[in-house]
Amino acid sequence: MSNKTIEMFTIRQILRLYACGKGTKSISQSTGIARNTVKKYLYRYILSGKTIEQIEAMSDAAMSRLFLIHAPIVVPNKRQEELEPLLPSLAAMLKKRGITKGMVYDAYKLQCPEGYKSSAFLERLNGYMQVGKPSMKMTHKAGDKLFVDFTGQKLNLVDKHTGEVSEVEVFVAILGCSQLTFVMAVRSQCKEDFILGCERALHFFGGVPQAIVPDNLKSAVTKASKYEAQLNDSFAAFAEHYHTFGFPTRTYKPKDKALVEGAVKIIYSSIFSKIDQNIYHHLDELNKDILVHLDAHNNAKLTGEDYSRMQQFTELEKHTLQPLNPYLFEPMTTQLSTVNKYGHVLLSVDKRYYSVPYKLIGKRLKIKYTSSKVEVYHENEVVAVHERFFGKGSKYITQQDHLATQHKYLAEWNPQKFMATAASIGEEVAQYVAKILARELYPEQSYKSCSGVLSFAKRVGHARLINACKRADSFGIYNYAIIDQILRSKADAIPFEDEVAGTDMPSHENIRGQHYYQ
């Protein structure tokens, strides 16, 4: 139903009330005309430039031509005309690290002192950047966030000999500001492959952003949360290694990761469609071709723009990234172990014991280890750090500071000391002591046995100890007790069979010699 045409006397009444100083709300209540309609006629009155007396003198026909035209009202806006050419540079300024909308407004006021007030300016700036409350378009600062995820679709490898087809996961990372993208095929979505993808992405970009934003996948998050997700130990250690933060998206908030989701869709057409045309037998071969197509993707012009992702990265974001850690991250594996009575914890994968402060005996501690280092934690505090040992022989790795005061003297004992003392007594003793040390026992026990055996040199002399060691060695028994038993029973004086000399028949007149039978 079309609107009813307003009578000229009503328009005259509106203008008279306005001339008397009434506001639009009061005029609307007095005349029964909608407030927006009142504003429309007042706009036309102001634009006409006529006085109320001149309007009163006009005929109804003249007034209708002035007030009842259907063309839209165009109000010249000098402030809008000044702002529009500045919006692109002001929006680009907001992408720089540390720049707030307040700072952008101050820069605008320097150029346009008579311009909009803060709220009107921000409304127009947000409109230009397509930001609104119902569906916000995220504004990403340079060097701020790196979004990471796995694609839903997978790529294939074909076994060269059997022809068996196996699927591999595809890792995607995209910088928020420049949208520079990294893509890599990995074996699985396990935390080791996820961290490998993140590390390769950082080296591809040549720097580290303020935060890495993963989805709530198990490779990164132990416990998902809308407000404060809990990272797993490995991913948290990786973030700490590169001096950045893990910042998972909120659960059930897909728009938090809209950028990487959009990148995945583009990658399907720009990379997957080309990869699917070939057959690959090795992961390295597949990743080599992915990088070729990725380079073309990053250097292609963005839709509707005259610049590429790589150009935007070089100009806006590259210099804002933090420097890389010169050392690659080594994923840490975690296990729990109870401190034994000797003050050591067992690293089960190596079946080797590492010392901790003796006061922690009986406590259950957390062990974190890499290929080169072993760290032991008690209540989230590091209590011991060791270099991981892979050699033969040393089953117990001990630091002297971890021992109780009454036990520290044992730290001065070592195999070299015992071997040197034994060699000074005799070669046989040295060989026997070496066999005691070779036993799979706790080192302190072996050292005590060696100390006891060598102490006999002063009590019974070198010769008897040498013979006792030879006798015990012939039995194949290597401990203190057997040496003590041999010396007490004087078995060291019994000659060995190969040492018994042959005896000649004594000469006697009643004994016939060999010549008798000739």
**Which of 346, 378, 406 delimits the end of a domain?**
406
In a domain, 508, yes or no: no
Residue 133 has pLDDT above 60, yes or no: no
Residue 478 reports pLDDT greater than 70? yes
Cα atoms found within 13 Å of the Cα of residue 95, Cβ hemisphere only: 23
Of 298, 320, 342, the last residue of a domain is 320
The segment with the largest mean pLDDT, out of 23-37, 219-233, 261-275, 397-411, is 23-37
Cβ within 8 Å of residue 267, ≥6 positions away? 151, 170, 172, 181, 183, 297
Q: Are strands 333-338 and 344-347 parallel, antiparallel or unpaired?
A: unpaired
What are the structure tokens assigned to 154, written together?
């997978």
pLDDT-wise least confident of 205-219, 252-266, 298-312, 438-452: 252-266
Q: Tokens for 88?
A: 């692109």
pLDDT exceeds cutoff 70 at 192? yes
Q: Distance between CA 238 and CA 196 in Å, rounded?
A: 10
How far CA 376 is from CA of 346, 349, 367, 389, in Å, comes to 11, 15, 5, 15
Residue 339 domain-assigned (yes or no):
yes
Residue 254 CB neighbours (<10 A):
10
Q: Is the pLDDT of residue 17 over 50?
A: yes
pLDDT of the residue at 510: 58
pLDDT at 393 over 70: no
Task: Tell me how far apart the alpha carbons of residues 436 and 452 are, in angstroms, rounded to a whole number.
Answer: 12
In a domain, residue 221? The reply is yes
Looking only at the bridges linking them, the beta strands covering 344-347 and 352-355 are: antiparallel
Instruction: List, for residues 269-319, the tens digit of each pLDDT value.
Output: 788 878 888 888 888 899 998 899 889 888 988 777 788 889 988 888 889
Q: Does the pLDDT value for residue 91 go beyond 80? A: yes
What integer pLDDT is reported at residue 207 of this predicted model? 92
Higher pLDDT among residues 431 and 260, named by residue: 431
Mean pLDDT of the chain: 80
Of the candidates 394, 398, 393, 391, which has an alpha carbon nearest to the alpha carbon of residue 376? 398
Residue of 187, 182, 210, 179 lying closest to 198 (CA atoms): 182
Mean pLDDT (whole number) for 358-368: 89
pLDDT at 376: 93
CA distance 15 to 2: 24
Return the percentage of the chain with pLDDT > 90, whole number.
Answer: 13
Q: What number is the average pLDDT over the span 42-56? A: 81
Same domain? For 160 and 55 the reply is no
Q: Which residue has the higher pLDDT, 474 or 45?
A: 474
pLDDT at 388: 85
Residue 197 predicted with pLDDT over 70:
yes
Is residue 509 included in any domain, yes or no?
no
Instruction: Provide the pLDDT confidence category of residue 131 given band limits of 50, 70 and 90.
Output: low
**Length of the chain (residues):** 518
More confident residue, 298 or 99: 298
Domain boundary among 365, 387, 406: 406
Is pLDDT at 167 greater than 50 in this prediction? yes
Retrieve residue 101's tokens: 């909308």
**In the predicted structure, residue 4 carries a pLDDT above the cut 70:** no
Q: 201 and 95, same structural domain?
A: no
> What span, in angstroms and rounded, lies between the C-alpha atoms of 485 and 487?
6
The arithmetic mean of pLDDT across residues 197-202, rounded, is 92
What is the DSSP annotation of 338-397?
E--TTSEEEETTTTEEEE--GGGTT-EEEEEE-SSEEEEEETTEEEEEEE---SSS--EE
In a domain, 326, yes or no: no
* Strand bridging mode 211-214 / 245-246: parallel
- 114 and 183: one domain? no
Out of 21-25, 278-282, 348-352, 502-506, pick the least confident.
502-506
Shared-domain flag, residues 88 and 206: no
Average pLDDT over residues 185-189: 87
Co-location of 85 and 123 in the same domain:
yes
Same domain, 401 and 417: no
| Residue among 96, 97, 116 nearest 105 (CA) | 116
Q: Are residues 154 and 290 in the same domain?
A: yes
Residue 190 scores a pLDDT above 60: yes
Residue 138 falls within a domain, yes or no? no
Q: What is the CATH number of the domain that holds 286?
A: 3.30.420.10
DSSP 3-state of 42? helix
Integer angstrom CA distances of residue 495 from 443, 471, 478: 34, 9, 20
The set of long-range contacts for 436-440, using a CB threshold of 8 Å and a minimum separation of 24, is 436/478, 436/479, 438/393, 439/478, 440/395
Backbone phi, psi, residue 361, to 5°? -55, 130
3-state SS track over 109-162: HHHCCCCCCHHHHHHHHHHHCCCCCCCCCCCCCCCCEEEEEECCCCEEEECCCC
111 and 176 housed in the same domain: no
Which tens digits make up the pLDDT trace of 419-462? 888 999 999 999 999 988 887 676 767 888 888 898 899 888 99
Q: Please report the pLDDT score of residue 72 as a whole number.
A: 55
Query: Is the residue at 505 inside a domain?
Result: no
Indicate whether 257 and 155 sit together in one domain. Answer: yes
- Beta strand 145-150 with 165-175 is antiparallel
Q: Do 350 and 312 sit in the same domain of this protein?
A: no
Give the number of domains in the chain: 5
Host domain of residue 192: 148-320
Confidence of residue 259 (pLDDT cuts 50, 70, 90): low
Is 517 among the domain residues?
A: no
Q: 160 and 103 in one domain?
A: no
- The pTM (predicted TM-score) of the whole model is 0.49
In terms of domains, do 399 and 437 share one? no
pLDDT (tens digit, 9 = 90+) per residue, 169-182?
Answer: 889 888 888 888 89
Q: Is the pLDDT of residue 473 over 70?
A: yes
Q: What does the pLDDT look like over 143-164, one tens digit per residue? A: 888 888 888 888 888 888 888 8
The rounded radius of gyration (Å) of the Cα atoms in the chain is 45
